């Protein structure tokens, strides 16, 4: 099974500007928690990768970021799912290797989890996340409500994490005939 690397904002939860700064701001997108649980039950490894420069900029403190992630993890666990790890970069220096769209965050995941990039899929809602994953050699899937319009770009694209998971877990023609 592949390793799925999820972007947080726009994939698991609704975007909040300038950032999801409090647990009350974190709202799972429809079907996202259930989709994550389906992947876990099908044997997929799933991690989260996010770039949170709001911490360095003073718009969010680390304690609040931890509270947000703890609330997110509790909701995921309550829904029967699991994230194996969270990879979070809080810097805002664009030259840092982990700052998106630089590939360092994905290279670090590859090294830490000992999974070759050929065995990874990155599902993200931001162009910076997608660009960083592609720069690291990771296969990408764009999650965008306007998926029909994005299909013209030639990228793999789904309207939601739930739609992507339905596609990935759909039985193949051979399985249906068996």
Can 92 be counted among the known catalytic residues? Answer: no
By the 8 A CB rule, do 140 and 121 touch? yes
Does residue 7 have a known ligand-binding role?
yes
Q: Which residues contact 158 (CB under 8 A, 6 or more apart)?
A: 141, 142, 143, 144, 147, 164, 167
Can 78 be counted among the known catalytic residues? Answer: no
> Which candidate in 9, 64, 92, 93 is catalytic?
9
Is the previous residue joined to 159 through a cis bond, with omega within 30 degrees of 0?
Answer: no
> Which candidate in 7, 25, 92, 93 is catalytic?
7
Place of tokens 């990155």: 122
Does residue 9 have a known ligand-binding role?
yes
* DSSP line for 63-105: HHHHHHHHHHHHHHHHTT---SEEEEE----TTSTTSTTSTHH
Does residue 27 have a known ligand-binding role?
no
Residue numbering of the annotated binding site: 7, 9, 89
Active site residues: 7, 9
Residue numbering of the annotated binding site for Zn(2+): 89
Residue numbering of the annotated binding site for Mg(2+): 7, 9
């Amino acid at each position: 099974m592949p390793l799925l690397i999820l972007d947080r904002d726009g994939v698991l939860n609704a975007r909040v500007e300038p950032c999801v700064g409090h647990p009350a701001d974190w709202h799972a997108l429809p079907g996202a928690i259930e989709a994550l649980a389906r992947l876990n039950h099908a044997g997929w490894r799933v991690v989260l990768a996010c770039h949170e420069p709001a911490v360095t900029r003073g718009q969010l403190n680390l304690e609040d970021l931890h509270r947000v992630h703890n609330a997110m993890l509790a909701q995921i666990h309550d829904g029967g799912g699991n994230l194996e790890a969270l990879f979070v970069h809080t810097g805002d220096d664009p030259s840092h290797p982990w700052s998106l769209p630089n590939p360092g965050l994905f290279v670090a995941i590859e090294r830490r989890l000992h999974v070759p990039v050929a065995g990874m899929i990155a599902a993200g809602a931001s162009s910076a996340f997608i660009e960083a994953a592609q720069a690291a050699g990771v296969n990408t899937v764009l999650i965008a409500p306007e998926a029909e319009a994005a299909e013209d770009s030639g990228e793999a694209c789904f309207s939601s994490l739930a739609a992507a998971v339905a596609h990935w877990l759909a039985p193949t023609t051979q399985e249906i005939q068996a």
